[in-house]
């Protein structure tokens, strides 16, 4: 008898959703605005010595014994608010140390007040891909906890893949197994199909997968509550308790499902806890018309008072609608769902009016649309079966008031410019091809209309694309796998740090601008950057390491727009690479509390820097993400735990004189970097 396959190695960059204060978890921007994530409870002896030496040096220059001296230091060195004078009290060493431990010396300049007076396509939106998954794309769980997690972390666009459910059944699993075994004619076909499934099981560790003719896993009888314990499925308002209800999962994989009803209930409860700005729910629909009727019923029930099911001006037809201003959609849920383009024969038909909430759905050829599969680039052996061509019912399509999805064919599709509410969703590969062949047209489109980018299907381990490439092309919704902690999510933290999940685009990227291309839309500068590393403390020791073999170092990356991006040429690596274009690293250390010896690394003559769309990322290798903080003047000190990515343009003069008075901190325990 063959020995059992060894368990698949753990992927340390993946993590199940954290429900204990997820707002302290980095990636969505909320942690940078949470005081608890920026404070330090104690200082190591090495760090305390470094702070004392710095205090003595500064005190000679500024005379901290006077309010005037403290105010001068805060203005010239820290660029902090004048009221911080009170935090330093009498200017003593203890007050100086307390100032840094409090987090008030944060490197991240608070984002400017959000100007919410622009149409909603003028903003970048913190967005999630396959939100329901807790791990990889093939064998992880689907959980409502994943929605709670990302919503509390500041996500403003979540995705739901919806499939037909099955009615409750009293048949046992043994009966189901017998019914499968009673089909000898399909035995050969089953073995062939099981070959790939078995390979998935061996690769990802899932045992006891369902038989191959099942298109998706069985329905879970109960759902976890906020504390991780089981709770009953939410009650149904429908008189029939035995009806099938839609479920949420990654189709044709080993992922387990959860109910659409439970997902909607979770969104209702957490949609506007961390932000009152609108939430976009992106639906990928694979259900029958009957199940779509139930979807509309459930969304209408659970999101009553929040769901945008009518235009702000109900007298307008869907073809006449203009995108609303952000300020007019506070605490509202927008549905992104396919809306079929009219056929030529329908061109003279009366425009659809949206004067009433969604009606009972019915089959309609004019509402047929083909859903784009996200499985491009998969090897033949690993491709999912083609997704069914769901016929989107009129009642469901009507809910796509301001975010109606249309199948992308070209940027010159007839009629699209006359439908301001359209959304194109493209995989990263398809979008890079458009960027390389129609850069000016792509930039023009994204100044006025919505576009969504999502990771290609080959990213089976839920890795992320490089979001800054797509933000620089004007893409508003760059969907990322929030369950994976990698460079993509670190950049997402930097983009949305301290915000409510919507960031106004640079002026040249807005619909009010006449700039024609990405190249001219925003000023580009040359950058000389010098960073001095002082000390670190409490670096988490990996399980496989001991004190003697533990040799950490810090790598600094600059994520800067490439020349090829500006010129519309093929981007090296197809835009897939998440590492920065410029990289330097410190010397290797030999301690969890290293004295970094004021080591200086320099980036000189960096070209093409745009303050608002350039990022600096710190990665501590060989252990958990912890870039140590506590720094002053032009120095970057390091301390655990915190996020190490931030936007270059958050302070004045950053291009001529890179000034980092204090490193950004975020509690972040997910992921390991190789």
pLDDT at 580: 72
In this structure, are residues 246 and 287 in contact, taking their beta carbons and an 8 Å threshold? yes
Q: Compare 563 and 219 and report the one with higher pLDDT.
A: 563
The pLDDT confidence band at residue 58, using thresholds 50, 70 and 90, is very high
Nearest 5°: phi and psi at 82?
A: -60, -30
- Evaluate if residue 171 carries a pLDDT over 70: no
Domain ranges of the chain: 45-101, 120-166+246-509, 523-650
Length of the chain, in residues: 674
Task: Please state the rounded mean pLDDT for residues 169-186.
Answer: 44
User: Which residues have a Cβ under 8 Å from the Cβ of 633 and sit 6 or more positions away?
Assistant: 77, 659, 661
* Range of weakest confidence among 99-103, 114-118, 271-275, 405-409: 99-103
CATH number of 120-166+246-509: 3.20.20.190
In this structure, are residues 23 and 34 in contact, taking their beta carbons and an 8 Å threshold? yes
- Evaluate if residue 644 carries a pLDDT over 80: no
- Asked if 120-166+246-509 and 523-650 have one fold, the answer is no
In this structure, are residues 251 and 162 in contact, taking their beta carbons and an 8 Å threshold? no
How does pLDDT run across 374-390, given as a tens digit for each residue? 444 444 444 555 555 56
Q: Compare 401 and 590 and report the one with higher pLDDT.
A: 401
Do the bridges between strand 333-338 and strand 502-504 make them parallel or antiparallel, or are there none, so unpaired? Answer: unpaired
pLDDT at 3: 56
The CATH number of domain 523-650 is 1.10.3470: no
595 three-class SS: strand
How does pLDDT run across 73-82, given as a tens digit for each residue? 999 888 888 8
Distance CA 329, CA 326 (A): 6
Instruction: Name the residue among 178, 124, 153 with its Cα closest to residue 27.
Output: 153
Both structure tokens of 364: 């309609």
In this structure, are residues 667 and 25 in contact, taking their beta carbons and an 8 Å threshold? yes
Q: Residue 265 burial (CB < 10 Å; 0-12/13-18/19+)? A: buried
Give the other-Cβ count within 10 Å of 360's Cβ.
10
pLDDT at 5: 53
**Distance of alpha carbon 622 from its chain centroid, rounded?**
25
How far the first Cα of the chain sits from its last, in Å, is 36
């Amino acid at each position: 008898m063959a020995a059992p396959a060894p368990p698949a190695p753990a992927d340390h960059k993946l993590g199940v959703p954290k429900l204990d204060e997820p707002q302290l978890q980095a990636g969505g921007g909320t942690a940078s605005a949470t005081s608890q994530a920026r404070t330090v409870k104690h200082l190591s002896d090495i760090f305390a010595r470094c702070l004392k030496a710095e205090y003595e040096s500064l005190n000679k220059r500024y005379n901290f014994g006077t309010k005037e001296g403290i105010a001068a230091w805060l203005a010239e060195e820290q660029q902090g608010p004048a009221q911080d004078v009170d935090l330093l009290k009498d200017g003593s060493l203890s007050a100086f140390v307390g100032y840094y431990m409090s987090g008030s010396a944060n490197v991240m300049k608070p984002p400017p007040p959000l100007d919410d007076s622009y149409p909603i396509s003028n903003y970048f939106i913190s967005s999630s891909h396959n939100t329901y998954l807790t791990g990889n794309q093939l064998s992880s769980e689907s959980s409502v906890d994943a929605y709670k997690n990302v919503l509390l972390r500041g996500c403003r666009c979540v995705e739901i893949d919806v499939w037909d459910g099955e009615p409750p059944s009293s048949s046992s699993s043994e009966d189901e197994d017998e019914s499968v075994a009673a089909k000898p004619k399909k035995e050969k076909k089953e073995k062939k199909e099981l070959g790939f499934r078995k390979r998935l099981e061996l690769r990802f560790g899932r045992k006891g997968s369902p038989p191959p003719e099942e298109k998706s896993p069985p329905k879970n009888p109960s759902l976890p509550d906020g504390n991780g314990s089981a709770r009953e499925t939410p009650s149904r308002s429908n008189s029939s308790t035995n009806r099938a209800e839609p479920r949420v999962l990654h189709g044709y994989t080993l992922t387990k499902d959860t109910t659409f009803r439970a997902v909607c209930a979770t969104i209702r409860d957490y949609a506007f806890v961390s932000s009152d700005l609108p939430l976009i729910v992106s639906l990928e629909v694979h259900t029958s018309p009957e199940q779509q009727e139930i979807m509309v019923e459930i969304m209408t029930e659970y999101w009553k008072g929040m769901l945008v099911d009518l235009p702000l001006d109900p007298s307008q037809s869907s073809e006449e609608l203009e995108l609303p201003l952000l300020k007019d959609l506070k605490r509202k849920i927008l549905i992104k769902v396919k809306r079929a383009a009219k056929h030529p024969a329908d061109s003279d038909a009366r425009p659809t009016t949206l004067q009433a909430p969604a009606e009972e759905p019915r089959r309609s050829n004019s509402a047929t649309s083909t859903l784009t599969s996200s499985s491009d680039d998969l090897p033949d052996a690993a491709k999912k079966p083609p997704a069914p061509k769901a016929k989107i019912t009129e009642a469901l399509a009507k809910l796509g008031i301001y975010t109606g999805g249309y199948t992308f064919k070209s940027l010159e599709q007839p009629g699209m410019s006359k439908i301001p509410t359209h959304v194109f969703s493209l995989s990263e590969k398809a979008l890079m091809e458009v960027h390389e062949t129609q850069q000016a047209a792509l930039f023009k489109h994204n100044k006025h209309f919505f576009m969504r980018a999502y990771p290609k299907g080959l990213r089976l381990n839920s890795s992320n694309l490089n979001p800054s490439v797509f933000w620089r092309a004007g893409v508003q919704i760059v969907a990322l796998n929030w369950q994976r902690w990698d460079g993509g999510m670190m950049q997402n933290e930097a983009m949305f740090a301290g915000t409510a999940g919507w960031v106004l685009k640079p002026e040249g990227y807005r619909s009010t601008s006449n700039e024609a291309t990405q190249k001219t839309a925003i000023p580009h500068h040359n950058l000389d950057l010098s960073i001095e590393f002082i000390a670190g403390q409490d670096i988490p020791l990996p399980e496989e390491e001991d004190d003697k073999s533990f040799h950490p170092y810090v790598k600094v990356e600059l994520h800067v727009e490439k020349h090829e991006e500006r010129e519309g040429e093929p981007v090296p690596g197809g835009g897939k690479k998440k590492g920065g274009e410029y990289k330097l690293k410190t010397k290797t250390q030999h301690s969890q509390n290293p004295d970094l010896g004021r080591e200086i690394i320099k980036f000189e003559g960096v070209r093409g820097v745009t303050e608002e769309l350039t990022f600096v990322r710190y990665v501590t290798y060989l252990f958990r993400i912890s870039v140590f903080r506590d720094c002053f003047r032009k120095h970057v000190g390091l301390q655990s735990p915190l996020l190490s990515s931030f936007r270059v343009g958050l302070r004045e003069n950053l291009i001529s004189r890179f000034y980092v008075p204090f490193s950004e901190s975020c509690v972040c325990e997910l992921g390991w970097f190789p």
